Structure 1
Amino acid sequence: MSIYDRIELLIKTKGLMKKEFCLELGISTGNLGDWKRGKSTPSTNKLIEISAYFDVSLDWLLTGRERTAIQIQESSAVYAANLTMNWEKLAGDLTPKEALFIQEYLEFARYRKHKKEGGN
C-alpha cells in the first residue's frame, strides 16, 4: 500500500470527497492525481498537515506501520534511592544563598498547595 493509498483510505474513512479534502488542506486536485499515479509524493510539510488533519502518525502515513515505544521499567525503590543520592550531592554543592532560595521556594509551594486544598 502506498502513501497515496493510505491517504485515500483516510479520505474514505472520514467520509470526505477527494475535492473536499483538497480544499480543506490546500492541495490541488492535479497534485492529488500526481500522487495517485506515482509522479510525485506529498512534501514533508504536507505530510505533517495530513497526519495532523486525520490524527494519524507520520510513521503510519509513510510506512503503514506504527512505531512501537520502548518502555524502560525501573524499580521505584531504585529511582527513589538515586533521587535521594542526587539531592544530597546537589545540596552539598549549593551556596548558602542557593540553599535558602530553595528552602523558601519549597515553603511557598507547600503554602500554595495548602491554600488550593482549602486550608486557611
Structure 2
Amino acid sequence: MYEIFEMLCDKNGITPYKFCKDTGTRTSTISTWKKKKSLASSKLAQKICDYFGVTMDYLMTGVEPEEIKKPELIPVQELDVAKKIAGIIGDINDKGTSPLYFNGKKLDKKSMAILAQALESAMKQVEIMREKDEK
C-alpha cells in the first residue's frame, strides 16, 4: 500500500512531506507506516484517497476497478420500425417539410403517395412473414 502512495506522490510531483503538510498528517505517521510495511489506518487511507482523487480499491491494489458498464437499453419504441415509418410518412405528408427530394429530384404529390404506400405495404409484408415464422 505504501508503494502505491509513493507512486501517487511521484505521479503528482509531490513529496510525502508535502502530502503531510497539505493534509495535516504527521510525518512520523508516514514513516512508521513505511517501516512497518503495513496497511494505513482507515483515516489515513481516506485522506490519501481524497487528496489524490483515487478510490480505496486503487489505493489498496493499484488497479482501478473497471467501470461497470450497464448495457444501454433502447426503448422498444425507438426500435419500432412501424413508428419510424409512420414518422417518415408524416414527414412526407407534412406541407411544412415539402417539397421533398429523392436523388436531387423533387417529389410530386403522386410520388410521395406511392412512397408512403410502398413503405406501409413493406411493413405489412414483414408482419405477415413474422406471424408465419412464429407458428
Q: Is the 8 A contact 2:57 2:65 kept in 1?
A: yes
| Alignment map for 1:1-120 (pairs within 5 Å) | 3-38=1-36, 40-78=38-76
Q: Is the 8 A contact 2:57 2:64 kept in 1?
A: yes
Q: Is the 8 A contact 2:55 2:64 kept in 1?
A: yes
Q: CA RMSD in A?
A: 2.2
Scaled by the length of structure 1, the TM-score of the pair is: 0.54
Q: Is the 8 A contact 1:34 1:41 kept in 2?
A: no
Q: Which letter maps to 1:60?
A: Y
**Distance (whole Å) between structure 2 residues aligned to residue 72 and residue 22 of structure 1:** 39
**Distance (whole Å) between structure 2 residues aligned to residue 16 and residue 48 of structure 1:** 18
Q: Residue 27 of structure 1 aligns to a residue in which SS?
A: coil
Closer, same or farther in 2 for the Cα pair 1:76/1:39, shift >3 Å? closer
Aligned-residue sequence identity (percent) comes to 32
Q: Which letter maps to 1:24?
A: D
Closer, same or farther in 2 for the Cα pair 1:64/1:39, shift >3 Å? closer
Deviation at 1:33, TM superposition (A): 1.0
Deviation at 1:36, TM superposition (A): 0.8
Deviation at 1:74, TM superposition (A): 4.6
**Distance (whole Å) between structure 1 residues aligned to residue 75 and residue 11 of structure 2:** 47
Q: Is the 8 A contact 2:2 2:37 kept in 1?
A: no
The structure with the largest alpha-carbon Rg is 2
**Distance (whole Å) between structure 1 residues aligned to residue 39 and residue 52 of structure 2:** 18
Deviation at 1:79, TM superposition (A): 8.4
Unpaired runs of 5+ in structure 1? 81-120
Closer, same or farther in 2 for the Cα pair 1:38/1:73, shift >3 Å? same
Which structure has greater helix proportion?
Answer: 1
RCO comparison, higher one (Cα < 8 Å, 6+): 1
